[in-house]
Structure 1
Amino acid sequence: MKKLFSLFLLISLASQAQENTVLSSKKNEFRVDLLSAVVYTKASISYERFFGKDFSTGINVNFSNSNKLNEDFDNGYRNNVPKFEFNPYIRYALSKSKSRYYFAEIFGSYNGGDYKEIIRIVDMAMPDYYTTKKSKYTDFGLGGSLGYKMYFKDSIALEFIVGFGSNLTNRDKSPDVISRVGLNLGYRF
């Protein structure tokens, strides 16, 4: 029984060591967010570069033209609608395994979209009236995320991420809260 247990332990350690070296030699990864595409009709792609054993950095790019959000915006249910985001990030792996691990992330967000407000028009020749004025906004925000990533066949990545932050510079027009929620499918090479 001891020999069988020792053999099992040796095989599992060898496969984990081989798995770690295969993943460690692959430094780049591209991902597509499936959740954003299906739920929010938002195109979201990411690139990540791995450094050392626990750190990585990358950028996430989102473009949105959702009919539902645009209808809510046009009908007055919301006063802004996000159109794009550029999210650079830094990640730290919280688990020892390279094939399945939790991570923490700090991200920045350069985002923009459409903004609408009701303004009062003062005209001396006629009575005052109100109208809707549409404009564009851009803002910069900071936030944090937590996530879980797992690899299949040493290259296929599945990642779940949840994070929130706040816009900082143009808060009267941009959304107060920015989010990074996604289910990403990727390829590491």
Structure 2
Amino acid sequence: MTRLNFKLVLGLCSLLLSINFYAQDSTSVEVNKTKFHELSFDGFEALVTPSAELNYEYLLGKEQSIGAFVYKNFNSEINNNYQEEFSLGFSYRNYLYSLQPRTSHTGIFIEAFSQFSLGERFRFINLTESEKIGNWSNFGLGFMAGYKWLTQHNIVIQVHLGGGLFAFNTKKTPDSFFRGGLLLGYRF
């Protein structure tokens, strides 16, 4: 009998202590530490080609985001008939799966984006010579897939690959475009 009473008293004391600790926790003020903005730079593209791409992403909900990107080509060497000089685009992204379950907006994602591009048209005379025959501009839609990691210090590492099709005047502009890269950024 005394053993049963001891277990009952011990059980009631531990129950009261846990309720007391829980009640004290509810009076504390919670601080929202969620970061909603990301700024990233395509470091791989900057190392391989003389061009730069800057990306901004605004985080919505737990699995979605919207963003914008700007691309500028600094390459004066002509390597194809349609030389892209500048692009501006907007995107909508949905995150599908993450290996970091406590961190939002990381892991595998798919993205739909629009892109407005400007460039120059060239005609090759022979293997070493070409001449400029005009400028071009076009609007296109595309899809992309990738993966994003986030460190404890809010540093973002992202790999993505995708492409799309231009919509207008494809006789004087390229038919399609490519987007891909290795981005490094910061979430704030």
TM-score between both structures, scaled by the size of structure 1 = 0.73
The aligned residue for residue 88 of structure 1 is: 90
The Cα RMSD (Å) is 1.9
**Residue 71 of structure 1: how far off its partner (Å):** 3.4
The aligned residue for residue 138 of structure 2 is: 139
Q: Would you tell me which structure has more helix in proportion to its own residues?
A: 1
2:141–2:164: 8 Å Cα contact kept in structure 1?
yes
The aligned residue for residue 71 of structure 1 is: 78
C-alpha offsets along residues 8-66 of structure 1, whole Å, 9 cap, x if unaligned?
A: xxxxxxxxxxxxx74xx100000000111111221110000001001100001000021
- After the TM superposition, which segments of 4 or more aligned residues of structure 1 sit over 2 Å from their partners? 96-100
User: What SS does the corresponding residue of 1:94 show, helix, strand or coil?
Assistant: strand
The aligned residue for residue 110 of structure 1 is: 116
1:166–1:176: 8 Å Cα contact kept in structure 2?
yes
C-alpha offsets along residues 130-151 of structure 1, whole Å, 9 cap, x if unaligned?
A: x955211000000100010001
User: What SS does the corresponding residue of 1:37 show, helix, strand or coil?
Assistant: helix
What stretches of structure 1 of length at least 5 have no aligned partner? 1-20, 73-77, 119-130
Structure 1 Cα separation of the partners of residues 153 and 178 of structure 2 = 29
| Paired residue type of 2:163 | F
C-alpha offsets along residues 116-167 of structure 1, whole Å, 9 cap, x if unaligned?
A: 348xxxxxxxxxxxx9552110000001000100011241000000011011
Aligned length: 148
Against the structure 1 CA distance between its residues 71 and 116, is the aligned structure 2 distance closer, same or farther, given a 3 Å change threshold?
Answer: closer
| Paired residue type of 2:97 | S
Structure showing greater radius of gyration is 2
Structure 1 Cα separation of the partners of residues 186 and 166 of structure 2 = 31
Structure 2 Cα separation of the partners of residues 71 and 113 of structure 1 = 11
1:112–1:174: 8 Å Cα contact kept in structure 2?
no
For 1:147-162, what aligned pairs fall within 5 Å after superposition?
Answer: 147-162=146-161
1:89–1:105: 8 Å Cα contact kept in structure 2?
yes
The aligned residue for residue 13 of structure 2 is: none
Task: Tell me, yes or no, if structure 1 residue 58 matches structure 2 residue 40.
Answer: no
Against the structure 1 CA distance between its residues 136 and 95, is the aligned structure 2 distance closer, same or farther, given a 3 Å change threshold?
Answer: same
